Amino acid sequence: MTTTTLLWLRQDLRLTDNTALELARKSDQLLPVYIHDPKLNGRWPPGAASDWWLHHSLASLDEDLRKSGSRLILGVGPTEEVLKELIRSGNVNRVCWNRRYEPDLVDADRQLKKMLAASGLEVKTCNSNLLFEPWDIQRDTKTESPAPYRVFTAYWRACNKRGLHDAVHHRPDRLPGIPRGVPSRKLESLGLMPETRRDTGLRNHWQPGEKGAQIRLDKFLKESVEDYTNGRNQPGITGTSGISPHLHFGEIGPRQIIHAIKPWTERATGSASESTETYIREIGWREFAHHLLFHYPQSDQHPLNRRFRNFSWRKDYGDDLIAWQQGNTGIPLVDAGMRELWQTGWMHNRVRMIVASFLAKNLMIPWQQGARWFWDTLVDADLASNTLGWQWVAGCGADAAPYFRIFNPVLQGEKFDPEGTYVRRWIPELKALPNRYIHKPWTAPQSLQAGIAPYPPPIVDLKASRERALAAYRQL
């Protein structure tokens, strides 16, 4: 009997080290499928920046599949219906996919698997997107049943004890052909592309797809990994890998990163050794984020720390939220970050922490509002990492920053962007200001301030708003 396997691709848009593909390709015919189902992601439909990325990533995957003798079949509509139709038209007898772990998807996957198996199909699901599945690593409580970790260092120690997987499947040269007569939609009909201006901005910064991911990783390893501990804090330079959107869409997997960095880890000494360890630990934070979201499925909306449920957020914040989104708060480092986000779909991690702290603490706007904006504008928008990041900064998450830690954007700027390179790049109005005023233009002499118009004065006083936040947090 001819075996025909349907490979359902989602956030695993690659051919190298793709566990489900490894299983699926051991058949006579292979049907690689992507289904655009706007309802699939429940309360978190992808934002505009994610859609842009997805469009280009699917085009790149199709190109790669064609080089291997296959091609990508696109379906549009409710997942279950589209799958059934493809299974029928392709005479499919086996279905494989890589698991996703977002709360809305876990249940949907379970039901789908049951339904397909009940109709006589062989169904295989795998892990390709994490080093450890969220239930793999649990606290070994001798007296109670296992419990999820809430502290990163303990979680990461347990992961390392297990050993980080670094064996990878190579990219297959040839793939089985696809069955005849299976219909496919055109990529353009998915309606993922934004207006042209945003497209150009994003296109200048990114190359979605497996090849783009590999180029980024290689460049980072060659140029920056050995100084990562230091470089990752400076938003004015390229000190980080910029691999996050590629990881989110599964154009590269974490095992591949651990595998690729191994030679650097083995030969590094001193600070270079510390740097490679730090980088691998950041991949660990991504794992931890998935662990938390899986075990606390409401945490995308509600604070993990229950005491925060009645926190007195401001209610009349409409104008301040818009100023923050548009990068017009009058605080240069915050505005530079928000403008970088809008123009490139990405923001440096240190600046993410600073703009988030400014929103949740100085402006006392609910962190969920910031998380929503990030969700819509980041090309790496990821429910697990975004939730972890926002809850960490707001102080209400697992292993979170203590409530009294309120980033001072002026001091942070003077420490990590002393020459104002980053601020000048994103706020051209401030280009001519001397370094000593670049992070606090409101303190410059009147004659200089006149020259930077229309850059606005600060929308809040940093000291007074810090005191207001501390008072509110103390009430908890």
Ligand X SMILES: Cc1cc2nc3c(=O)[nH]c(=O)nc-3n(C[C@H](O)[C@H](O)[C@H](O)COP(=O)(O)OP(=O)(O)OC[C@H]3O[C@@H](n4cnc5c(N)ncnc54)[C@H](O)[C@@H]3O)c2cc1C
CA 54, chain centre distance (Å): 13
Is 375 considered catalytic here? Answer: no
Closer residue to ligand X, CB minimum distance, 260 or 356: 356
From the list 102, 99, 115, 98, the residue with the least C-alpha distance to 42 is 102
* Active-site residue, selected from the candidate residues 133, 313, 429, 435: 313
Of 283 and 433, the one with the shorter C-beta distance to ligand X is: 283
Residue ranges in 334-353 that form contacts with ligand X under rule CB under 6 A: 349, 352-353
**Known active-site residue 285:** yes
- Among 14, 232, 291, 466, indicate the residue that binds ligand X (CB under 6 A): 232
Among residues 285, 313, 317, 416, which is the contact residue for ligand X, using CB under 6 A? 285
Q: Which is nearer to ligand X, 8 or 374 (CB)?
A: 374
**Axis-axis angle for helices 254-267, 270-295 (nearest 10):** 160
Least separation in angstroms between residue 14's CB and ligand X is 15
Classify residue 445 by its DSSP letter.
-
Query: C-beta of 253: minimal distance to ligand X in Å?
Result: 11
| 264 included as an active-site residue | no
Stretch that binds ligand X, among 109-117, 241-249, 330-338, 421-429 (CB under 6 A): 241-249
3-state secondary structure 391-425: HHHHCCCCCCCCCCCCCCHHHHHHHHCCCCHHHHH
Contact pattern for ligand X over residues 381 through 400, marking x by CB under 6 A: xx--xx-xxx--x-------
The residue annotated as part of the active site, out of 97, 156, 346, 390, is 390
Catalytic site includes residue 390: yes
Stretch that binds ligand X, among 6-14, 57-65, 239-247, 305-313 (CB under 6 A): 239-247
283 is a site residue for ligand X (CB under 6 A): yes
Q: What angle do CA 369, 251, 350 make, to 5 degrees?
A: 40
Interface with ligand X includes 32 (CB under 6 A)? no
User: Is 426 part of the annotated catalytic residue set?
Assistant: no
Catalytic one of 41, 93, 233, 349? 349
Tokens for 280, please give them.
Answer: 């691998």
Name the minimum Å distance from CB 419 to ligand X.
Answer: 21
Nearer to ligand X, 34 or 220 (CB): 220
Residue 364 in the binding site for ligand X (CB under 6 A): no
Q: Of 13-21, 138-146, 236-244, 295-303, which part binds ligand X (CB under 6 A)? A: 236-244
Residue of 41, 285, 435, 442 marked active site: 285
How many positions of this chain bind ligand X (CB under 6 A)? 28
The residues pairing with 125 across neighbouring beta strands, listed in sequence order, are 97
Which member of 282, 414, 429, 435 is catalytic? Answer: 282
Instruction: Give the pair of three-digit tokens for residue 108.
Output: 């949907």
247 belongs to the binding site for ligand X (CB under 6 A)? yes
According to DSSP, the β-strands at 73-76 and 94-98 are: unpaired
Q: What is the largest CA-CA distance in the chain?
A: 84
Shortest reach from residue 384's CB to ligand X, in Å: 8
- What letter would DSSP give residue 40? T
C-beta of 395: minimal distance to ligand X in Å? 12
The interface region with ligand X, picked from 196-204, 244-252, 425-433, 459-467 by CB under 6 A, is 244-252
Catalytic site includes residue 414: no
Question: Which residues does the annotation mark as catalytic?
Answer: 282, 285, 313, 349, 367, 390
Please give the residue ranges that form the binding site for ligand X (CB under 6 A): 232, 240-244, 247-248, 282-283, 285-286, 289, 349, 352-353, 356, 374, 378, 380-382, 385-386, 388-390, 393
